[in-house]
Amino acid sequence: MDLKEFDRKIILEDGSEYLGYGFGSDCDRVCEIVFNTSMVGYQEIVSDPSYTYQAVVMTYPLIGNYGITDDDFESKNMTIGGLIVRDYNDMPSNFRYTKTLSELLEENNIPGISGVDTRKLTRSIRDKGSRRVLITDVSTSLEEGLKIISDTAVPHDAVEKVSCKKRWYSRTSNPKFNVVAVDCGIKLNIIRCLNKFGCNVTIVPFDTSAEEIEFMNPDGIFLSNGPGDPEDVTPVIDMIKKMRGKHPIFGICLGHQMISLAYGAKTYKLKFGHRGGNHPVKNLETGKIEITSQNHSYAVDDKSLENTDLSLTHINLLDNTVEGVECKKDRVFSVQYHPESAPGPQDHRRAAHHDLLCAGHSVRGHHLCVGPRRRDPQRRVGHHHGPAGLQVPPRLWPQGPRVHGAVRAGGRKAGRTGGHVLLNREEASQSLPPAGGKENAIIFSGGMYGGKNTFQAASVEFVRHRRANYARSRL
C-alpha cells in the first residue's frame, strides 16, 4: 500500500523545515510558533483570542477525536494563526459534536498541519525559544519561505483586532454587582463565570475612555486576557492610571500585565511562554499551591515591583515568575493565570470568587450601616434594625441603600443579637470582630441601581479585626 505523500510543510525562521499533511484551510500563513501542553481543550484553544497571530503546536498527539460542539467556544470569531498536531482524527466520537475540527478551520480560513514530529518541534521551541514560522505548501522552497517570513511585518494590532467594536451586555438573575469588562480579547467563559458570581457585565471595547467608564458608575472594573505585547495597549494602561483608587479593578493575563505597567512596573517576553493546564502557582498569602491554566508570552519583572505600590501575591513554581499582584489601598489586584479555566483545573475558582466579593463589599463611597441579619418568620424576608432600633422590612427601607455583603461565619446565629451602628469604611474595618468571634451582619451602602432600589447580599468574610471597638455595634 502506498503511503500518502506530504502536501504541506512549515518553515521556521532559523531555516528548519517540518513536513506534514494539511487539514483546514490550505492558505499560507506567517505566525509566531508556540506550544501548548494541554491534553484536552483544542476547541477552546482554537477559539481563544489570545492566540491571535500564533501557530499552536499541540504536544498531546491525538487531536480532533471529539469534534467541535456549539457550546464550547471561547469567542465568536476564530483568530488563531494556525494549528500543528501529530495525529489528526477526522472521525469524531462524541454525541455533542456538530462538525469536525478541519471543517471549523476551513470555515475560518485557518491552516492546519498534521503528521509533524511535534516532540522534536516542541524541544526546538523550548531550547531556542518562540520564533516566526511559515505554514505553506510543500512545493515552497526554503529560500522563498525565509524571504516571505522576513518580508512580513510583526503585527502590533492584535488587541484592536479581537476587541469588540461596540458595547454589549450579559445579564444575570438576582445581580449583586455591576461590572464593566474591558474587552482586550475576553473569553466567553469569563463572562459566564462573572454572571454565575452574581455580576451584570457590560463589555466595552479596549479603547473606551476612563470618563465613559466612570459615567457607567460600575461596582468594579474587569480587565480581560488578550494577545500580544501589553505595552502596545496604551489606551487601557492610561485608563487604569485614571481609574485606580476610584473603583475596584481586577485583571487576568494581559490585564495583569497592563495593571503592572500602569503602576510603573516593567514586563518582558518569556523565552517560550506558559501555555497549558497544569502550571503550579503558590499563593504567598495562604501558602497554598493552585494548579492553573495559563496562556501568555509576557511576564512582569519582579524586581520592577519594588518601586511601585504593588505587592507580590502569587509566584509560578516552575520558573518563579510573577503570577499575581495587589494594591490594597486602591483595591486593585490581578493574576497571570486564567481563573475561569475552561477546560482546566478549578481549585483556584474559589479564591477568585472570594477576591471578587471582597473587592465588591465596599465599592461605594457612602457610609456603611452594620446591623444583625434578621428574618421575619411570617413574611420570610430579611430585616435590619433601623437607627431607632426598629425592625424595618425591605419594602420600607429608605430610598437608596444597597446591600453589598453579608458577613457570614462562626459565632451566634442570625437574629440572636440586636443593635445598629453607623460607621464609615475606616471605622468599620477596625470594628468588626476577629476570626472565631464574627457575627452575622448585613452591610449596606448608599446608592441606586438603574433608578430602582436593590437589596442583594454577597458573602464576604472579615478576619483579623480588633475586638475592642466591636462593642459599639451592640449599643
The set of catalytic residues is 253, 338, 340
Is the Cβ–Cβ distance between 59 and 37 less than 8 Å? yes
Q: Rounded to whole angstroms, how far apart are CA atoms 363 and 446?
A: 10
DSSP lists the bridge partners of residue 281 as 290, 316
Q: What per-residue string of b and e applies to 150-168 under the rule 16 or more CB within 10 Å gives b?
A: eeeeebeebbbbbbbeeee
The residues with which 283 forms a beta bridge, in sequence order, are 314
Cα-Cα-Cα-Cα torsion 204, 207, 209, 212, nearest 10 degrees, comes to -20
DSSP per position, 200-236: EEEEEETT--HHHHHHH--SEEEE---SS-GGG-HHH
Within 13 Å, how many C-alpha atoms sit on residue 184's CB side? 26
C-alpha cell at 231: 505595552
Residue-level length of the chain: 475
Report helix, strand or coil for 33. strand
The H or E element containing residue 429 is helix 425-431
CB 161 within 8 A of CB 181: no
Cell digits for 399?
430610598
> CA distances (Å), 166 to each of 159, 203, 362, in order?
14, 8, 30
The rounded distance, in Å, linking the Cα atoms of 443 and 473 is 12
Sequence-ordered list of residues with C-beta below 8 angstroms from that of 24, at least 6 positions apart, any chain: 83, 101, 102, 104, 105, 106, 110, 111, 112
Q: Which helix (H) or strand (E) holds 106?
A: helix 101-107
By the 8 A CB rule, do 93 and 69 touch? no
User: Among residues 259, 373, 281, 412, which one has the least CA distance to residue 325?
Assistant: 259
